[in-house]
Structure 1
């Protein structure tokens, strides 16, 4: 693609080929991790590795950029198996249990890692990291991703590879309008500012809706259960909640904090667009880009698309045309600890017949050199996750506000909260998704949470309290488990 610069080191390595399974020598210290991976991988020229990737835009990275470039550099073909994210865990486990070894490299949502690693489906990466000297570059991954999305126990099972983090987007032109500021101060007794607490969000959101209707609502969010589940996990912790009693493993989501969060979430729909309860990722995006809403929270792509970055690409033709380019500001969500919602880490299948080649591919993908190019792809949805991504001059010049955008992502990477990650995490998440549906259906928040907590307790009992307690306490000790 036109935005990708040809790598400066291609010429230096393109003519180097290692015959057959020739012994590989340790890298010279001056070589980058990308160069090391390319040189070592050339001994596998002519082979094919298969990688599982989320279907859709995400897969355009290996299909159109990284896969063809890897083949050009090493002679190794990359077969991309596209799988909807809702089916990825099951497909990976099915391949492992069958022993077929159909997959070599994997994209793994970090919260799945304990289940996959404990089952034996993931190859420990520590020996490869040491052999190919990748440790120093792993340290330049932003700490919150590195510390929460890489290891199970003391072993590395995946390389954090996607800086998924929630960001608040707001209309600067509205927040800076002198008349609106004057009227807000007269009513609230304070200056109009971007909300830093949920109480401020409620006050500002209601005021803007009252002031700007019928053209603009104060805010909107995606409200479909799979998305709202992440927003609940974040907000519950920001407001002081804990998921479990660490001693008994009894669920504590039905605490006073949980009831307050659900009650406030439902009340906030009143100053959002009609039908917001059905908003998904695209509906919420359309409302914001059309200028219908003054505030929203979502993943990093919203910020790029609001500025118009890359939306002229054919693959992004479905993205509504932005009417607010140049008017959007970026901030952390209220509470200052955004959810690192979903994301991906790169792993190697334990049943792969090409483990070394698969490892070298993911080291190359994840490296400083290549990841910088991948996160700037307009279509591929990989978001910045390395310290160097947030400070890249090239990226900061992609649109006028890109520097502020990247700085906010960097702040989120420092303060972010990791998704809950347990044994059989999805069973607990399914309860949360059902909980959200009941909330929009009008059921009582306390009754909803009491029922959800009882279901969580039943899941824990079935798995085994002691086993789940050990998994939870390991997760809770991580830097991104609860606000510090």
Structure 2
């Protein structure tokens, strides 16, 4: 349905025609070029008689089938089509696959023995699904062969460890650094009258909240009265979406901050406890302070409520701070550039449990690309991954106001790399901290089923169809145990302990 667009689909209509034209041109060029020898395809050496360019390998005649999420994600690859053709002789056939189900298209290809794709694009939560199925090619030998280690070293450490590695091997390249931060209204927080009223009511200073308890009080304070320039009763809180299919992205970091985790080391649900219950109850309280009807809104509809109303605290991904100032981005439709002047940036709050403070931001979604183990042109495919991680190439999609690709390279947080967009240094500094404190995806096989079971029960409690938060979580926990047994508990434990080891390597206190 048109009114259920995700934030990544908003610009699909605007980019679809361009992508089709570019892909068609690439295919037409490929059809006019003789195919390389099998040796050239498998080893990455130039075909006989084809001169290399500046010492780089050539793959003239090779067309790679590149899976892409649609809409705002196309610029990740379309910025490089001409470059790849000129530098390496590589043509790209872009094949769209919807964001939430692209892993299913990849799995069907793997089970069929490959052939439909050379490069997969997936949410990193599905890394384990594809790797355990034997469908992803390990990249370490290609990284060494083409001296590409500095490119992977330039990925923010937490993102690289959590989303590029699997059982000690590099298997993916990130292309979109989704992490959510807190955006808050400075004109509300810094108003002396509001500061006085708040302290009189709650007994502590109005400030950027450190804990979720403080955040709830601030959200309550700013709900129901005209405190902002719209002149309408304002609201205290909004998150990127309350949609059932995405609701864990808001709840899980709160749960982890309260001391929980996806699973225990014995593979019991690590959230069917006080941590999960506390986060769920608090999340429902926040819904009371959001604009009416938020529980049923899509990503873009939720953002419209933020800019059409005065909302004191907003939890959103990096594209708001990166694109919000642009007069041509989708945020501009709601007056984004003017309203961004009143926006401040901060980490998500956390909980203090038994004297120990934890706070995690939402490190959900994002995108990674991987080479199919069945690709007949792995070296050519690696040139694509290498291009997507080369800073001067990668910045082209990040600096595009029609692109959904957010920061993830260490070099992405320097304001001087942006030539078209104008994200502030304050935003980029906070964003660089936020990505080091993200609570990540679970990543073991069956994650789609696990999340569906959990999403259903979280949403049931938020909508009121289940009134008891403990019963909601218990129902989800029973489903998780069934899923674990069906996927082979001992194998799932092996996978989870490896994921857990990377969590700790990345600095998560779990």
Q: Do the structures match in fold with TM over 0.5?
A: yes
1:342 equivalent in alignment to 2:365: yes
SS of 2:80's equivalent?
helix
Alignment match, 2:282: 264
1:327 equivalent in alignment to 2:353: no
Over residues 186-210 of structure 1, what are the superposed CA-to-partner deviations in whole Å (9 max), with x where a residue is unaligned?
2222221111210011010001114
Give me the whole-angstrom Cα distance separating, in 2, the residues matched to 1:379 and 1:105. 23
Give me the whole-angstrom Cα distance separating, in 1, the residues matched to 2:114 and 2:286. 50
| Change beyond 3 A, Cα 1:87–1:52 | same
Alignment match, 1:46: 61
Over residues 415-448 of structure 1, what are the superposed CA-to-partner deviations in whole Å (9 max), with x where a residue is unaligned?
2221112121111101111112211231111110
Give me the whole-angstrom Cα distance separating, in 2, the residues matched to 1:285 and 1:52. 28
**Contact 2:251–2:279 under 8 Å retained in 1:** yes
What TM-score do the two structures reach when normalised by structure 2?
Answer: 0.83
Give me the whole-angstrom Cα distance separating, in 2, the residues matched to 1:325 and 1:122. 41
Alignment match, 2:500: 476
| Change beyond 3 A, Cα 1:39–1:171 | farther
User: Where do 1:20-419 residues align within 5 Å?
Assistant: 39-41=55-57, 43-63=58-78, 65-212=79-226, 214-221=232-239, 222-247=241-266, 249-307=267-325, 309=326, 311-312=327-328, 316=330, 319-322=333-336, 323-335=338-350, 336-395=359-418, 398-399=421-422, 402-419=424-441
SS of 1:423's equivalent?
coil
SS of 2:256's equivalent?
helix
**Contact 1:238–1:483 under 8 Å retained in 2:** no
SS of 2:311's equivalent?
coil
Runs of 4+ in 1 over 6 A off after TM superposition: 19-25
| Change beyond 3 A, Cα 1:49–1:153 | same
Q: Structure 2: which 5+ residue stretches go unaligned?
A: 1-35, 46-51, 351-358
Offset of 1:227 from its aligned partner?
Answer: 2.3
SS of 1:231's equivalent?
helix
**Contact 1:102–1:352 under 8 Å retained in 2:** no
What TM-score do the two structures reach when normalised by structure 1?
Answer: 0.87
Give me the whole-angstrom Cα distance separating, in 1, the residues matched to 2:419 and 2:210. 25
**Contact 2:295–2:463 under 8 Å retained in 1:** no
SS of 1:44's equivalent?
coil
**Contact 2:182–2:347 under 8 Å retained in 1:** yes
SS of 2:310's equivalent?
coil
Give me the whole-angstrom Cα distance separating, in 1, the residues matched to 2:321 and 2:415. 17
Give me the whole-angstrom Cα distance separating, in 1, the residues matched to 2:172 and 2:55. 22
SS of 2:345's equivalent?
strand
